[in-house]
Amino acid sequence: MNGLVFLSDISKVYRSRRREVTAVDRVTLGLDPGQIVCLVGESGSGKSTIGRIVTGLTDPTAGDLRYGGVSARSMSRRELKASRLAVQLIHQDPYASLNPGMTVGATLAAPLKRHEGLSGTELSRRIRTLLEDVGLTPSGLFEPKLPHELSGGQRQRVVIARSLTVDPKVLVADEALSMLDVSIRVSVLQMLRGLCDDRELAVLFITHDLAVARQFGDGHTVAVMQQGRIVEHRDTATLVANPEHDYTRDLLRAARHEGLRSRHSPHPQSVPATNAPAMPPGR
């Protein structure tokens, strides 16, 4: 199946005058509606490159990328644009991906006007519903706020709401929650997972942390990347309980170590933004 997106034997080689880096090496991976694949692996293993290929930000050097069973190579520009709009990327840094001068309401209104042609009461209703869907309630409180008036968790909720404005079929979340404090991360993780389940969204969830993958990918699968290759891809519970690959065992050890560390001391990036409210709703 893997009807929404399918990567068949995809490779990506970055070439410069001095060296050649094989970021992705013959990877085959697919997503169906409602399916979650967590992509884990150490830094530089090629996770983001795969995410960029899926979202169309990077072209593969070799292999076949299919949307809805049709090869991207055989699509017209217009078809490709529509296919790519159905795949939305959620970045790691919500602050960087939001316009600092745009209110939450305006941030959501722009794509709703552009892509859906909404205006007036219908536009206001959609904005309200989206904010409620991502747990930013009461929505009227958040609509006039600027990004710097929000906490990190709230900002990431706005980014998620914005990605939903175009009614995507696939989400690519690249370390989307790794900048958040551990306690906030859990609530945003649960919200995102609930949204994906409700809307039957397919998700490529990229993380270096197997503990996070274990939680988000519960009931789905985890693919482990090492040096551009997928070395193990199995259902989440089996992979965690019984890893086949030495590298997966190392990642599990690292995840356990990290789990212990975060229980004893705050995450270095857990300090809230200076001008964020002390205990805001919808963290």
Ligand X SMILES: Nc1ncnc2c1ncn2[C@@H]1O[C@H](COP(=O)(O)OP(=O)(O)OP(=O)(O)O)[C@@H](O)[C@H]1O
Least distance between ligand X and beta carbon 234 (Å): 19
The residues pairing with 13 across neighbouring beta strands, listed in sequence order, are: 22
The number of residues making up the chain comes to 283
User: Do residues 130 and 165 make contact, with C-beta atoms less than 8 angstroms apart?
Assistant: yes
Structure tokens at 196: 């994906």
48-67 residues in contact with ligand X (CB under 6 A) are 48-49
φ, ψ (nearest 5 deg) of residue 168: -70, 160
What is the Cα–Cα distance from 264 to 274, expressed in whole angstroms? 24
Q: What is the pattern of x (binds ligand X, CB under 6 A) and - over residues 83-122?
A: ----------------------------------------
Burial of 173 (0-12, 13-18, 19+ CB in 10 A): buried
Q: Is 44 in the site for ligand X (CB under 6 A)?
A: yes
Q: Is 48 in the site for Mg ion (CB under 5 A)?
A: yes
- CA-based nearest residue to 269, from 180, 209, 189, 183: 180
Q: Which among ligand X, Mg ion, none contacts residue 242 (Cβ within 5 to 8 A by kind)?
A: none
The total of other beta-carbon atoms located within 10 Å of residue 171's CB is: 25
What is the Cα–Cα distance from 61 to 15, expressed in whole angstroms? 10
Only segment of 46-54, 58-66, 185-193, 196-204 that touches Mg ion (CB under 5 A): 46-54
Which of 5, 36, 37, 45: binder of ligand X (CB under 6 A)?
45
Least distance between Mg ion and beta carbon 56 (Å): 17
- CA-based nearest residue to 38, from 247, 231, 222, 240: 222
Give the nearer residue to Mg ion in terms of CB position, either 55 or 139. Answer: 55
Which of 7, 10, 29, 41: binder of ligand X (CB under 6 A)?
41
Give the nearer residue to Mg ion in terms of CB position, either 40 or 192. Answer: 40
Give the nearer residue to Mg ion in terms of CB position, either 47 or 84. Answer: 47
193-252 residues in contact with ligand X (CB under 6 A) are 208
What is the Cα–Cα distance from 51 to 260, expressed in whole angstroms? 29
Give the nearer residue to ligand X in terms of CB position, either 150 or 172. Answer: 172
Q: Which among Mg ion, ligand X, none contacts residue 170 (Cβ within 5 to 8 A by kind)?
A: none
Taking the alpha carbons of 132, 190, 206, 172 in that order, is the dihedral positive or negative?
Answer: negative
Least distance between Mg ion and beta carbon 40 (Å): 11
Only segment of 25-33, 45-53, 60-68, 139-147 that touches ligand X (CB under 6 A): 45-53
- CA-based nearest residue to 252, from 237, 270, 264: 237
Which letter does DSSP use for residue 265 in this model? S
20-39 residues in contact with ligand X (CB under 6 A) are 21, 23
Q: Is 277 in the site for ligand X (CB under 6 A)?
A: no
Only segment of 3-11, 28-36, 41-49, 246-254 that touches ligand X (CB under 6 A): 41-49
The total of other beta-carbon atoms located within 10 Å of residue 119's CB is: 11
In the complex, the residues that contact Mg ion under the rule CB under 5 A are: 48
In the complex, the residues that contact ligand X under the rule CB under 6 A are: 14, 21, 23, 41, 43-49, 208
